Amino acid sequence: MIQVPRGTQDILPKESYKWQFIEKKLHEIAKNYNYDEIRTPMFESTDLFVRAVGGSTDIVNKEMYTFQDKGDRSLTLRPEGTAPVARSYIENKMQHNVEQPVKLFYVAPMFRYERKQKGRYRQFVQFGVEAIGVEDPLIDVEILSMLMHIYQSFGLKNLKLVINSIGDIDSRTQYNKALVEHFSPRIDEFCHDCQTRIDSNPMRILDCKKDHDHELVKSAPRIYDYLNDESKAYFETVKAKLDELDIKYEVDYNLVRGLDYYTHTAFELMSDAEGFGAITTLCGGGRYNGLLEMIDGPAKTGIGFALSIERLLLALEAEGIDIPENKGIDIYVCTMTDQARDTAGTLLHKLRSRGVSADMDYENRKLKAQMKDADRKKARYTIVLGEDELQSSQAELKEMATGETKKLSFEEIINTLEEL
């Protein structure tokens, strides 16, 4: 039997209403903050991710779904949304838009060849936002406040916002030098990946899951001490504004993020909820001041975050928060005879074309079973069509919640439901 590919899932109707609810809310919150939707292709030139996300990252080295197309181009299913949005900003010359920053959001599937684990999929849906074109701590704070707003609006409580500053390119270069000096003498005690990271991207050693508890990780120099005055001032302003808004956070100097494009503000939102699982990160993001230039764009800066709906759902489940089910249909038409079934078909056609949601029995079931079906479909009203009803073109419209009935012509039934 052919099965769904490893690390992917079917989202069946008993779950898809939750996705609809979440996506609708995310669209509404994006609108509150004045972010507009962007849709980019599901695949891009491989080169985009190699240059933007970084050749030394796990994403590029191990996790990309890369293939040659029939024209011998190397393409990659997008593993994340920031690089494609940056590519589109450059290609569509959005730096000339009258309004800056350009504020965009997306809800889109991403693909990473990762080991399957609770909360980790090979295809997952990210909601992400990007504000590109202006460097201002106020925008960093807007992004962080939107992030917290999203999670809190679902009623989640066990949240921990962790922030750090990676500084500008200059600070980062100084810091990387210090890390190389710190780790080099004993790098052979570290995992194979870290032994490569010391040359390609020493900061990533701080984030290694295998070497997390090594004493040298704990005693590593702190990035804060290597931030130049400008970077420090930027970080201090962001923190002060977060305090003003009473947005709670912790500073973690070891937070470096898994993608290479970050500068200054970097952050992750974690779930503290019991039962959420081992992967506690709900959302990650940060500022990326050099990214556009890295892919031949203008010297414009940006900041954003992305969360996966899969992990948001896990967090809701862990905190016992239910998502309201979709409402049922407006009317269920029960039928007693074959002829009544024909008439019901015509009636449904008219009801639906006037915007009323309606259904009937297609399995020739007994009236009792049809009533049960109407209940299952959460029908607000029912009618029963038999010979009398066909002759008189009238039926008893029954409101299921109250049991109240009213005899009406078919046309009156349609009009009543359309008005409701």
The residues of the shown chain that bind ligand HAM, judged by CB under 6 A, are 80-82, 112, 114, 119-121, 124, 126, 128, 130, 258-259, 281-286, 304-308, 310-311
Q: Which is nearer to ligand HAM, 80 or 140 (CB)?
A: 80
Q: Which is nearer to ligand HAM, 130 or 361 (CB)?
A: 130
Distance CA 108, CA 325 (A): 23
Q: Which is nearer to ligand HAM, 131 or 385 (CB)?
A: 131
Q: Which residue has the tokens 């990214």?
A: 291
Specify which residues 223 forms β-bridges with.
Answer: none
Q: Which is nearer to ligand HAM, 269 or 417 (CB)?
A: 269
Q: How far is the CB of 66 from ligand HAM (least distance, A)?
A: 17
Distance CA 407, CA 383 (A): 10
Q: Which is nearer to ligand HAM, 43 or 305 (CB)?
A: 305
Q: How far is the CB of 221 from ligand HAM (least distance, A)?
A: 24
Q: Which is nearer to ligand HAM, 175 or 305 (CB)?
A: 305
Residue 76's H or E segment, with its range, is strand 74-77
- Whether omega before 79 lies within 30 degrees of 0, making that bond cis, reads no
DSSP state, 62? I
Nearest CA to 201 out of 58, 79, 86 is that of 58
Q: Which is nearer to ligand HAM, 156 or 356 (CB)?
A: 156
Q: How far is the CB of 155 from ligand HAM (least distance, A)?
A: 18
CB atoms within 10 A of CB 153: 13
Q: Which is nearer to ligand HAM, 126 or 201 (CB)?
A: 126
Q: Which is nearer to ligand HAM, 7 or 328 (CB)?
A: 7
Report the Cα 15 to chain-centroid distance in Å: 16
Distance CA 125, CA 110 (A): 6
Tokens of 67: 């293939």
Q: How far is the CB of 322 from ligand HAM (least distance, A)?
A: 21
Q: How far is the CB of 284 from ligand HAM (least distance, A)?
A: 3
Distance CA 300, CA 1 (A): 51
- SS3 percent helix, strand, coil of the chain, rounded to 5, is 45, 20, 35
Q: Which is nearer to ligand HAM, 312 or 414 (CB)?
A: 312
What is the C-alpha end-to-end distance of the chain, expressed in Å? Answer: 47
Distance CA 162, CA 265 (A): 11
Q: Which is nearer to ligand HAM, 257 or 398 (CB)?
A: 257
Q: How far is the CB of 242 from ligand HAM (least distance, A)?
A: 18
Q: How far is the CB of 400 from ligand HAM (least distance, A)?
A: 40
- Helix pair angle (192-200, 169-183), 10° resolution: 140
Tokens of 1: 């039997």
By CB neighbour count within 10 A (0-12 exposed, 13-18 middle, 19+ buried), where does 145 fall?
middle
> Which residue has its beta carbon closest to ligand HAM?
304
Q: CB under 8 Å to 75, separation ≥6 — which residues?
A: 43, 44, 45, 46, 66, 67, 68, 69
Q: How far is the CB of 207 from ligand HAM (least distance, A)?
A: 11
Distance CA 35, CA 99 (A): 12
Q: How far is the CB of 131 from ligand HAM (least distance, A)?
A: 9
Measured CA to CA in angstroms, residue 384 lies from 329, 334, 366, 405 at distances of 16, 5, 12, 12
Distance CA 347, CA 370 (A): 17
Q: How far is the CB of 413 from ligand HAM (least distance, A)?
A: 47
Q: How far is the CB of 174 from ligand HAM (least distance, A)?
A: 24
Contact (Cβ atoms closer than 8 angstroms) between residue 294 and residue 263: no
